[in-house]
Structure 1
């Protein structure tokens, strides 16, 4: 009661009777990409790492010899053309167990009562039996025996065993007390899988996707579609089907590891079917990271796309439809949506683009000639702009927009689609997520920013037809990208607040948009709060490069002059810094090297002048200001991003937020004059005599109350969504006029702090809760908590 009395009154008026546009039935889906070991070591249930011994040409990654056994990679006498290497094991035969073991993906999760399926191919001569078990150095928790390893030809072996105890960090052991040499390939171990599919999915991870009730599944990426270094590292669907021993696998160069392609084209389609989601396939248009096929030679890429569609949609009498039937699925999978390219329509060719519109037109003509009802999606600029557009007369049904921004950006763009034309192409927001100012795993603040943006998409769903958060998965042992809405290790999993926002929003979409007006006197002046700290420091930094700096002067009306001598010693945060008179140099190629002047600036109105010189490396140099601690500061990066642009960034609670960028570079060996003038949140910065930035610092989160409403024609429910990003609870009345409200349910996602997160040890720190409400006289009264998403379903 005390909280309710102290909070401000917010009135949300919902026009129930004048129903607006139809809500898109395909609004929320999922976007899957093999990043952060999302496939091997993640959703794909295979437990053996490097099962085909292809991860390295020089060593058997994740495999270890034990008991005096020997191991060597062999490249002749192989199982088939898909396999480039196998592993020959020399068993010692010294009366003790010798052999090999496999680490799995940072441990194999052995679960009591769970039966595991083992298979492998082998040839050779062994005087004795193989003992196959799960366990660690101290204890075995599951075991089976395999006899008759006496053959000069390849033979497949299968076995099952059941665990007697839990042991989350087990290994797979293959040992023998006998003597001999055996060559192994495609050593595979599967636990029970989602829907008991052969070559299937890890149940706990798949179940979390199923719980989202996705309307579609976009696959297989992302950058994973394009590949890197060569077209061979792109996703080629035909190499990812059939028995696992016939799959080549390929280098997932974009994300730093090899993939087995065990989760292949057929499995993606099966996954979509099991989720009740429409498959949305992304095809390569002959462009990869670092190169492209000339426009005149892209016909093989078009043929590859057409063959994939025939596999998915063709009759069993067709070549690829028959192959689908052979692989266990006679009925068509029915792909309805196809995206032509991934992020391939940037303004500059060097940014993964080459004659995209011409490529799109060729693909479109060929695909619609055979599949005239196919929904085609085109690319627009995926970075470098907040306003991407399709700039070509060639018609396209949907375009794919991508946004990775801060919580404040998403909140400020609540009304982004209000002004979009209603007679043009539809929008598919194929990738969006807070990637700046999100904390460690992904904060509630980040999720609330995304929720506000989703509300903006919903109220404009006559334009925004589809949307999918990205990326989904991250193995905590190999984080290449943060944040990700589902994070896991070999035995546990948790959803971030963003995951729960995706779930409760998708569960409560409605079918018609309702108009909302809101009176919110409390938050009108919140955004006027100054972001810049009153007390801070400044200094210098580098990122993967070497640079030298010379401090010239500091001046302020509200603070005393700072000299270099008075400021010493510097606060070296990271890097190899050396001083020579008034010049300080960073001499390593480490990333994130920072050196801070050890003097407080007791003002946020001042001017700093310095000199900087790039001494070597891929990037330029950085001026640091508003430094409070290692997790809170701002900097201006000159010649960043491979010496292609300048950028102004803020670091808030350890997470970086990009405020402004400008194309530009710096020359090696040249001294540049830097001038920074700060007036509260206003920032001006010059490089020599060029004004590079004239902008303002921003809050990580846009403070306020945001609301939308919809009507569900299937249930008769009115659905009201309210996000409160402020630190104060708000007493709120939802006014429905003379609508006969019988009962109401509140679904709330909130926490004491917007910076709160979930973790593997505390997976439900931020978790949706439900309770009943009692409407009266067409009004639903409730308290909207601080830092919250509230969804009210009114009967």
Structure 2
């Protein structure tokens, strides 16, 4: 019996211990599971640097018809008859056409200034002369197509003006908005005084037209029904403008800028500041002010079209003021694309700069301040920031970079002597260097860094400014954007990379004082640069995902950085193979002609390819040509052999593998970088990543055997019998969760920014210390895929959405979708205590409570706090 009892007790205790162990193990497993989540730990009393109140602004440059045909609201193209097909070519009738049906006749030709035909003024080099033979029954028309169509909107009123001289014309003229085929008239107005002024010289005529229907591709017409000769110049048609400014801005585009709430506006460029070919082609501010008919205009050679300068220096300043943004002016240091004034002879450029500052800042008693007042703005505009040059400090003097520091010093001394409080911005290396430095002992307030890179570069730069010298000059990131891997118009991957970079700038607000994305605008009919954050036509406008990032980040910016501890147990937990299960191989070149032995059917994606007798020839010199075999390889283990020959050109040849589509593949670049090295590169979502490289070159006219062996993500390459590579494809370590936080001391809100640039959704716990959350909301920008984009036809595929969140005593839970920017604003009812103010400090508490609104709801009484 005793033995039996003992055994029962033993088995009972053993079982119970096992159960207890099992229970404890399960509890531990559950606890581990509960703890295995992304946490964002924030202590409201652990503060970082103060956030620059000027951090986010805009950079405007006349590129992609950003001014004429863009934000400048003028609807008539070639309004002063000065445009031509290219720089240096004679002017022609671009944008204009004549319509006449027999027996009527309308002959049009450009005329130049002469004693017989004097022009309107010295700024005008051409006018249009019309010889008219028409009647009321058979009128003739002078047509202007506008900038790829004139947007006629029902009920909208348009202001027409033109200058004319008609000493021998008998008849009337009507102004019309009508359809492109001329069959529908949307607006019509007779210019009644035209015939009565026949004996006068150049006379300005004005009228208004109100559209009766909608047509984004309407045209403007001057309709003649008489006989005689008419000379025309400065034909202008304006819709309503932003803030009703005369000679103003297109409202929808200007409002998209206003919605960014920029703290500053950098203008007028960019390369537009420098010009090209000659100093006269640079931006010369004094030629861009005053009545528009007295502005000569100039060729925007850098971007391939002529500008009226209707959007001139005064209008830039006025636009900045209307946007409630400080003007940041960029001046030319005597350098243009293709030449320069010697650095010891730049005083005229310095004088031009000082005169521009006097126009903007001087009293009305000064020469240029009086000119500003005459142009309708007696109060100073107040320029506080000035940049000396644009990208003029490259190590290669052939890249618009002659003796920059000597030029800078002369400008700096002259400006500071007259405007000692002016903040001066200097140029550093603008391309080819990820860590540019100021290579001079000269004083400088800010340094202008420019970065056009890939999404992964920007994500990897999250900590870029952590190591910057806190005692050195401040940084102005004057131009930055994803230009490699942005898709077609600008995708979500690009926007998220930029957002991560911006969070890094915010975290280092003691270093980065200013930042502006570039460029802003593109007319879809003349895209000279991509991507751009606002795309438009004559009637539509849309923002890319990057636009919404630029809109959301400054709208949710606190006054001081809070330290964030991000814990992500899922990072690197699942390793995804890069090599696809199905792919294709192919051939390519870079600025080189080459031949490949190929007996397969191929898809020639890009380049000048010819197939002849089992040979595949690339006969042109384009970059990144691609020709892909049609056969699909099943599996991620394969070996391929290629026979290749460089025929002529700067580099060698390329073997493509793991090809899925034109934005996702790998290649072996043999003889790349001007035939100096071999490399394996990965192209993912359009962005390029260097896997491995070594020195080497390819001889022209020689056949090479290339062997490629792929085993999952392991890649081996032989050139003839020499093994070049035995490597593993790289994973993008920049994918995952990023977070930053700031606190707004004016409202008592904590703002937490969370980016997920990966394809996996997750959940994050925002844990708060010394801050009791009472209310939380999230503004989210998310996409189904990183390649997703907005278009003019579907402009809101990706757009911000706001949601309420639930709060607990010390945390907020946040769902984080893939490919998303999440901005969480958290409020508290106990803001005084979140600031760490002692209840004993009644005076401090009372000061903070006074006049602060509903968030400040606690009153200090002795050692206790009561709500009132």
TM-score normalised over the length of structure 2? 0.83
Show CA shifts across 1:393-422 (max 9, x none): 222111111111121111111111111111
Residue 549 of structure 1 aligns with which residue? 595
User: Per the alignment, in what secondary structure is the counterpart of residue 365 of structure 2?
Assistant: coil
Residue 777 of structure 1 aligns with which residue? 809
Residue 36 of structure 1 aligns with which residue? 64
1:705 equivalent to 2:753? Answer no
* Matches of 2:140 and 2:653, distance apart in 1: 55
Matches within 5 A, 1:206-221: 206-221=254-269
Q: CA deviation at 1:489?
A: 0.7
Residue 107 of structure 1 aligns with which residue? 149
1:765 equivalent to 2:797? Answer yes
Given that residues 82 and 92 in structure 2 are in contact (C-alpha distance below 8 angstroms), is that contact kept between their aligned partners in structure 1?
no
Show CA shifts across 1:746-780 (max 9, x none): 11111322222211122111111112223111211
Matches within 5 A, 1:377-416: 377-416=425-464
Given that residues 40 and 260 in structure 1 are in contact (C-alpha distance below 8 angstroms), is that contact kept between their aligned partners in structure 2?
yes
User: Per the alignment, in what secondary structure is the counterpart of residue 387 of structure 1?
Assistant: coil
Residue 787 of structure 1 aligns with which residue? 819
Q: CA deviation at 1:477?
A: 1.2
1:79 equivalent to 2:79? Answer no
1:743 equivalent to 2:789? Answer no
* Matches of 1:663 and 1:364, distance apart in 2: 45
Q: Compared with structure 1, are the counterparts of its residues 349 and 133 closer, same or farther at alpha carbon in structure 2 (3 Å cutoff)?
A: same
Q: CA deviation at 1:646?
A: 9.3
Matches within 5 A, 1:520-599: 520-525=568-573, 528-542=575-589, 547-551=593-597, 564-565=598-599, 568-579=600-611, 584-588=616-620, 593-599=625-631
User: Per the alignment, in what secondary structure is the counterpart of residue 353 of structure 2?
Assistant: helix
* Matches of 2:682 and 2:127, distance apart in 1: 50
Q: CA deviation at 1:658?
A: 6.4
Q: CA deviation at 1:180?
A: 1.8
Q: List runs of 5+ in structure 2 lacking aligned partners.
A: 1-32, 85-89, 828-868
Q: CA deviation at 1:664?
A: 11
More divergent stretch after superposition (385-394 vs 278-287): 385-394
Q: Compared with structure 1, are the counterparts of its residues 625 and 343 closer, same or farther at alpha carbon in structure 2 (3 Å cutoff)?
A: farther
Residue 866 of structure 2 aligns with which residue? none
Show CA shifts across 1:278-302 (max 9, x none): 1001111122222222212222222
| Alignment length (residue pairs) | 773
Q: CA deviation at 1:647?
A: 8.9
Residue 119 of structure 1 aligns with which residue? 161
Residue 753 of structure 2 aligns with which residue? 721
Q: Compared with structure 1, are the counterparts of its residues 249 and 699 closer, same or farther at alpha carbon in structure 2 (3 Å cutoff)?
A: farther
Given that residues 736 and 778 in structure 1 are in contact (C-alpha distance below 8 angstroms), is that contact kept between their aligned partners in structure 2?
yes
Larger radius of gyration: 2
Q: CA deviation at 1:541?
A: 3.4
* Matches of 2:414 and 2:745, distance apart in 1: 39
* Matches of 1:372 and 1:482, distance apart in 2: 39
Q: Compared with structure 1, are the counterparts of its residues 152 and 532 closer, same or farther at alpha carbon in structure 2 (3 Å cutoff)?
A: farther
Residue 133 of structure 1 aligns with which residue? 176
1:66 to 79, 99, 106: 99
* Matches of 1:692 and 1:329, distance apart in 2: 68
Q: CA deviation at 1:308?
A: 1.0
User: Per the alignment, in what secondary structure is the counterpart of residue 18 of structure 1?
Assistant: strand
Say which structure, 1 or 2, has more relative contact order (CA 8 Å, 6+ apart): 1
Q: Compared with structure 1, are the counterparts of its residues 365 and 495 closer, same or farther at alpha carbon in structure 2 (3 Å cutoff)?
A: same
Residue 505 of structure 1 aligns with which residue? 553
* Matches of 2:695 and 2:414, distance apart in 1: 41
2:399 to 344, 347, 351: 351
1:752 to 760, 781, 784: 784
More divergent stretch after superposition (472-481 vs 679-688): 679-688
* Matches of 1:239 and 1:694, distance apart in 2: 62
Given that residues 707 and 719 in structure 2 are in contact (C-alpha distance below 8 angstroms), is that contact kept between their aligned partners in structure 1?
no
Q: Compared with structure 1, are the counterparts of its residues 631 and 514 closer, same or farther at alpha carbon in structure 2 (3 Å cutoff)?
A: closer
Q: Compared with structure 1, are the counterparts of its residues 669 and 752 closer, same or farther at alpha carbon in structure 2 (3 Å cutoff)?
A: closer
More divergent stretch after superposition (444-453 vs 202-211): 444-453
1:97 equivalent to 2:143? Answer no
User: Per the alignment, in what secondary structure is the counterpart of residue 742 of structure 1?
Assistant: strand
* Matches of 2:201 and 2:72, distance apart in 1: 30
For the aligned residues, what is the CA RMSD? Answer: 3.2
Q: CA deviation at 1:245?
A: 1.0
Residue 231 of structure 1 aligns with which residue? 279
User: Per the alignment, in what secondary structure is the counterpart of residue 772 of structure 2?
Assistant: coil
User: Per the alignment, in what secondary structure is the counterpart of residue 628 of structure 1?
Assistant: strand
Q: CA deviation at 1:497?
A: 1.2
Q: CA deviation at 1:576?
A: 3.8
Given that residues 120 and 185 in structure 1 are in contact (C-alpha distance below 8 angstroms), is that contact kept between their aligned partners in structure 2?
yes
Show CA shifts across 1:4-29 (max 9, x none): x9997211110101222111111000
1:17 equivalent to 2:30? Answer no
User: Per the alignment, in what secondary structure is the counterpart of residue 796 of structure 2?
Assistant: coil
User: Per the alignment, in what secondary structure is the counterpart of residue 743 of structure 1?
Assistant: strand
Q: CA deviation at 1:705?
A: 0.8
* Matches of 1:141 and 1:644, distance apart in 2: 63
* Matches of 1:66 and 1:238, distance apart in 2: 39
* Matches of 1:690 and 1:250, distance apart in 2: 58
* Matches of 1:155 and 1:592, distance apart in 2: 57
Q: CA deviation at 1:37?
A: 0.9
Given that residues 644 and 653 in structure 2 are in contact (C-alpha distance below 8 angstroms), is that contact kept between their aligned partners in structure 1?
no
Q: Compared with structure 1, are the counterparts of its residues 82 and 453 closer, same or farther at alpha carbon in structure 2 (3 Å cutoff)?
A: same
Matches within 5 A, 1:253-272: 253-272=301-320
Given that residues 455 and 496 in structure 2 are in contact (C-alpha distance below 8 angstroms), is that contact kept between their aligned partners in structure 1?
yes
Q: CA deviation at 1:152?
A: 6.0
Given that residues 314 and 332 in structure 1 are in contact (C-alpha distance below 8 angstroms), is that contact kept between their aligned partners in structure 2?
yes
2:368 to 312, 320, 332: 320
Residue 191 of structure 1 aligns with which residue? 239
Given that residues 677 and 695 in structure 2 are in contact (C-alpha distance below 8 angstroms), is that contact kept between their aligned partners in structure 1?
yes
* Matches of 1:693 and 1:401, distance apart in 2: 36
Residue 375 of structure 1 aligns with which residue? 423
1:26 equivalent to 2:69? Answer no
1:426 equivalent to 2:454? Answer no
Show CA shifts across 1:177-213 (max 9, x none): 1122212111110001001101000011111111111
Given that residues 645 and 661 in structure 1 are in contact (C-alpha distance below 8 angstroms), is that contact kept between their aligned partners in structure 2?
no
Residue 830 of structure 2 aligns with which residue? none
User: Per the alignment, in what secondary structure is the counterpart of residue 587 of structure 2?
Assistant: strand
* Matches of 1:288 and 1:330, distance apart in 2: 33
* Matches of 1:640 and 1:130, distance apart in 2: 64
* Matches of 2:551 and 2:520, distance apart in 1: 13
Q: List runs of 5+ in structure 1 lacking aligned partners.
A: 552-563
* Matches of 2:312 and 2:95, distance apart in 1: 22
1:46 equivalent to 2:70? Answer no
Given that residues 407 and 700 in structure 1 are in contact (C-alpha distance below 8 angstroms), is that contact kept between their aligned partners in structure 2?
no
Show CA shifts across 1:666-709 (max 9, x none): 99966596968676667898999999999986667932111111
* Matches of 1:695 and 1:75, distance apart in 2: 69
Given that residues 112 and 165 in structure 1 are in contact (C-alpha distance below 8 angstroms), is that contact kept between their aligned partners in structure 2?
yes
Q: Compared with structure 1, are the counterparts of its residues 234 and 198 closer, same or farther at alpha carbon in structure 2 (3 Å cutoff)?
A: same
* Matches of 2:535 and 2:801, distance apart in 1: 21
Residue 561 of structure 1 aligns with which residue? none
Residue 535 of structure 2 aligns with which residue? 487
* Matches of 2:72 and 2:772, distance apart in 1: 49
Show CA shifts across 1:511-530 (max 9, x none): 0110111221122345x534
Q: Compared with structure 1, are the counterparts of its residues 41 and 698 closer, same or farther at alpha carbon in structure 2 (3 Å cutoff)?
A: farther
1:246 to 277, 291, 294: 294
* Matches of 1:441 and 1:514, distance apart in 2: 35
Q: Compared with structure 1, are the counterparts of its residues 647 and 144 closer, same or farther at alpha carbon in structure 2 (3 Å cutoff)?
A: farther
TM-score normalised over the length of structure 1? 0.90
